[in-house]
Each structure stands twice: as structure tokens, then as C-alpha cells.
Amino acid sequence: MNKKNLRFIIALSVEAKSIIELYKLKEINLPPNIFKIYKNIDLNIWLIISGIGNVNSAAATIYLYKSSPKNKKNIWINVGMAGSKNFDVGSIFNIKKVSYKNTLKEESFYLSTLVNTKIPINEIVSVDTPEYNFKKKKSIYEMEGYGFIKTVERFCSRELIIIIKIISDNEKIPPINFIKTTKHFMKSNIKALEELINDYIKISSSIKNKRKYNINIINKKFHITYSSKVIIEDLAFKFEKIYSRKELEIILSEAKTLKDFIREVKKKINSYVLKI
């Protein structure tokens, strides 16, 4: 199994409970403690309680981004309850479009459709105040998706962003007993959520973090300026992929100057013919 690098943004503790239990997360003391943050022992799964609303979810997203380790493979997830006119309470949706409208602007955001099985896909209308009228028949109304997506898309690949909404109330069933029903619906959907996240983890595993080449052995022999460091890292990386580190060390030991070393490495790379 690939390593899970997960970042959860969740409005309320009651919505987060099942996830905290699933991934064995512990609350941490991270001054100035603006938000409640949880993490696992391996530091790869983090969860933040944002509070209700788009402003809070945006702030919590950036707060968690600053507070947790950065990795291109991090998957950012917003999970929460939502209301709708017709959908059954307890049903779960993988959100692919977020619409937001206020008196000043109208915006739409789209999530990647790469993973679209297991949990049915749908759209949300993100609002600033609770919605009770459910004007749009087929829409799901919630209060954090817009703040989350607008912030997270600035630093995360679209393919690794997830919004999951579970219907807590509809036209016929009002949101009474919210805590009890939320606990129940989160628990009953946690397996589906975990399976979906695992699909995203598979995707994230094919993302390669920026290649880093350790040029210490070269730096020990020659003084390397910052500008030549980039060139040497690139050349050494390619050389080792084509030939071997041992051969690189031989060239290094024979080179009298850095210029000689670079010239020889370049020459060898240029003499390489692609093998199929």
C-alpha cells in the first residue's frame, strides 16, 4: 500500500470523529492554536476543524498548509454534511463542481473527474447562510466547499482534491438531532470514504517529487557556485541514469578542474544512444 498523505478540512468535530478514529489521529498543541488540529503518529495524515462557513474553511485550509509537511502527493479533502431538496438523507456524493454566488460575483470551480466510481458524483451550491428552501432541485447545498476549493487549488494539483458531502437533511427531513444523525451517517459512510481515498492515493503515488541529486562528492573536490550547481545536478542525474554512480566517480577522480569534469560528463551523455 502506498503511503497516505492526507489533509482533511472538516467544519465540525462531530463530522470529524469517524475519520479521527479511522486514521488514529491525536490532537496536537500547535500554538497559537487558532484551529484544532489532529495528526497521526507518522505525521502524514492531518486534520483541521475549520468551523462553519466558507471564510473559516479557506482560513483553515491555508493554516493547515502552513502547519503540515508539504509534499506534492498530499491529498486535500473536505468532508461534511449538506442539505438538498430530494436526495435521501445519509447518501454520499463525490463533488465535481462547486458553484458560489453572492450579490457581487458568481464563480464555479471544477474538481478532477479522474475518480468517478464507487461514490456517485454530483455538484454543490456553496452558500454563506444556511439554506432551507433548496431552490435548485438537483443541487446539494453546503457552506464550506467554496472557501476550501478556492484556497486549495492554489497549491494542490486538481487531481488530488476531494470534496465529499453527505446529505443530512432534505425537504421532508429537517436537520433535527444533527449531532446524532451526523455521527451515524459519517460512521455508515466511512468505509466508502476510505475506499475512495485509497483510489486517490493510487493516483498520487504516480506523481514524482522533484528529482534531487546529491552532488556532495563533487562539491568536496570542486567549489561549486549556485548557478553551476543546477547544471551539475542535472548532468549528474542524467549520467547516473544512463551509466552509473561508479563511472561518475571515476570521471570525477580523473578531472583536474570542474570545467574538465563538466565537459567529460556532457561528452559521455551526448555519446549515449537511446536503447529500446
Partner 1 sequence: MKKVIYIEKSIKNLARVKAIIRRFRDPSIIYINRYTEVFNKKNQNFPLQKKNPAVILAKKQGNFLLKTPESYTIGRKNNYYFSYMYNCIFDCRYCFLQGLYNSSNFVIFINYEDYFNEIGLLDSSHIANDTTIFSGYDCDSLAYDSISNFSESVLKSFNKFKKIELEIRTKSTYVKPFMRKSMQNIILAFSFTPERFSSKYELGVASNKKRVKVLQNLINKGWKVGIRFDPFVIYEGWEKDYLNLFELIFSKIPTEQMHSVTYGNIRFPKNIFSKIKKYYAEEKLFFKFSKYKSNIYDEDNGELINNFCSRYLINYVDKNKIYCNIHER
Interface residues toward partner 1, by CB under 8 A = 96-97, 108, 110, 112-114, 116-117, 121, 123, 153-159, 203, 206-208, 210-211, 237-238, 241-242, 269-270, 272-276
CB of 136 to partner 1, least distance (A): 12
Nearer to partner 1, 148 or 185 (CB): 148
CB of 112 to partner 1, least distance (A): 7
CB of 78 to partner 1, least distance (A): 16
Q: Give the distance, in angstroms, between the CA of residue 259 and the centroid of all CA atoms in the same chain.
A: 42
CB of 107 to partner 1, least distance (A): 9
Q: Are 63 and 28 spatial neighbours (Cβ–Cβ below 8 Å)?
A: no
Cell numbers at 155, concatenated: 497549491
Nearer to partner 1, 132 or 155 (CB): 155
Cell numbers at 53, concatenated: 462557513
Beta strands per DSSP E along the chain: 6-10, 26-28, 36-39, 45-49, 75-84, 92-101, 106-110, 121-126, 140-142, 161-169
Nearer to partner 1, 102 or 108 (CB): 108
Nearer to partner 1, 30 or 203 (CB): 203
Angle between helices 54-67 and 145-152 (to 10 degrees): 40
